[in-house]
Amino acid sequence: MSTAHRRNSILLPACALFGAALAAFGLCQDSPGNILAGLRTIVTMEDVLITDYIAVAGMGAAFVNAGLVTLISTAILWLVKDPINGATLVTIGLMSGFSLFGKNIANIWPILAGTALYALLKGETLAHHVNVALRTTSLSPVVSFMAVRYSPWLGVAIGVLIGFLMPPVAEHAHRVQNGMNLYSLGFSCGLLAMMLVPAFKAFGLSPASAHYWSTGNNLKLGLALGGLCLTFIALGLSRSPRRVLKKYWLLLRTSGRVPSDYVRTFTPGPVLVNMGVNGLVATGYVLLIGGDLNGATIGAIFTIIGFSGYGKHAFNIVPVMAGVLLGSLLNHVELNSSGLQLAGLFGTTLAPFAGVFGWPFGVLAGLIHSSVVLQAGLPLEGMNLYNNGFSGGLVSIVLYPILTSLVKSRRPVLMEEDLFAIFDSDTPQNPDELPGKERRLVPDRRTGGDRRVRESEQTQEGERRSGQDRRAKQDRRSGRQR
């Protein structure tokens, strides 16, 4: 095993430790009897957006549920021998975060079983699909809704169907978004929910969104989050701090466009510092706008921390947050409303726009997202937990071709990477291999038109390989012919 593989092998034990810490924090917040009663409340809720488990079951039960879901997810990744990379960190961030408002120890299993059935039918390993399976639990509210409102077996059946159908949908939708929406599975889940919810209504079912939102916990939860983020930074700087900060500066100059796998590209130090800084930025944003730290917003903060290993950093998330902030001044919705609090955090799914096209376009993406997200989820009736990912997909599909046509001097190459190949890759890579500001359009004297040349030919700052280059290189390593 190479040094890089040994280094990354500590990720799953660290995730397990994080899950145990969440459960321990929850056990310190309430009595065992109240926690068990709260867990029973959690698994018998319909779990549609927004169901803040702190509001409905208490802080103790909410964090115990989060800890247990995180431990379950980590164990599954370990059992199927998932390749360790930035996608692994993202998956854990999503599972731990959304298990504070929507996912629980009961409603995730049918969807996981459905994807396992798909892998079996295709003759492929579950490791190839496990990240998609875990992330598809974004549609866990569908399972809970059917199980609680009608029949547990009906909930299981619809969950298995969702898990079975999602892999091909996710792979196709991933390419359409061209790497500009980090929550690409949120868009895929939104598309499937757009099929399911109207069907439910046609059969006389009546799904409806909810709004359980806790307040008054900013001091306690703010101190806990601050301590967690400072711990990440301290751990990251514990060895060779000068070298770590130098690499962190290099990380800050990346675009964040998918697939920007920082776990494979950088040592743990810069990634840990990035996780801590991003967590502090997100927490500070909530407090700055007079928002609430609760199950939903902490879930968003955990998601940002997870994506700190795969595309997000302070330089590309702050412009998007600023765009949502600006949007709140124009769309007649209070900035500290629950929807815009979550939009400011989850809207950083569009961080690649700031990284690829420049910070003004990150602000523009956030501004558009602040309006779209408030309307895009209405037809889904709270069934897709990754509602901002669905909205982000819509924004990226429209905004990307417009900018690539008009902002010709900063045009990225079209997406080439296969979704499952991204999840399967654990080979270390160089920072120059990350996607970024790929090509300029300059006059071609031979044809009188435009031709594309690499950024390095204009600036001598080094060549960033395109997705096609990377895939060809991987094919050479594996001996396959295209």
Question: pLDDT tens-digit profile of 216-227?
Answer: 999 999 999 999
The residue-averaged pLDDT of 242-266 equals 93
Question: pLDDT tens-digit profile of 345-390?
Answer: 999 999 999 999 999 999 999 999 999 999 998 889 999 999 999 9
Q: Look at residue 419 and tell me whether its pLDDT is greater than 70.
A: no
Q: Look at residue 456 and tell me whether its pLDDT is greater than 50.
A: no
Q: Which residues of 437-476 are buried (b: 16+ CB within 10 A; e: fewer)?
A: bbbbbeeeeeeeeeeeebbeeeeeeeebbbbeebbeeeee
Contacts of 170 (CB under 8 A, 6+ apart): 132, 136, 184, 185, 188, 419
pLDDT of res. 175:
84
pLDDT of res. 338:
93
Distance CA 272, CA 230 (A): 10
The residue-averaged pLDDT of 302-308 equals 97
Q: Look at residue 479 and tell me whether its pLDDT is greater than 70.
A: no
Is the pTM for the entire model greater than 0.85?
A: yes
Structure tokens at 134: 């875990």
Q: 169 with 188: CB under 8 angstroms?
A: yes
Distance CA 415, CA 187 (A): 16
According to DSSP, residue 128 is labeled G
Rg, Å, the chain Cα set: 21
pLDDT of res. 6:
59
Q: What percent of the chain is predicted at pLDDT more than 90? A: 72
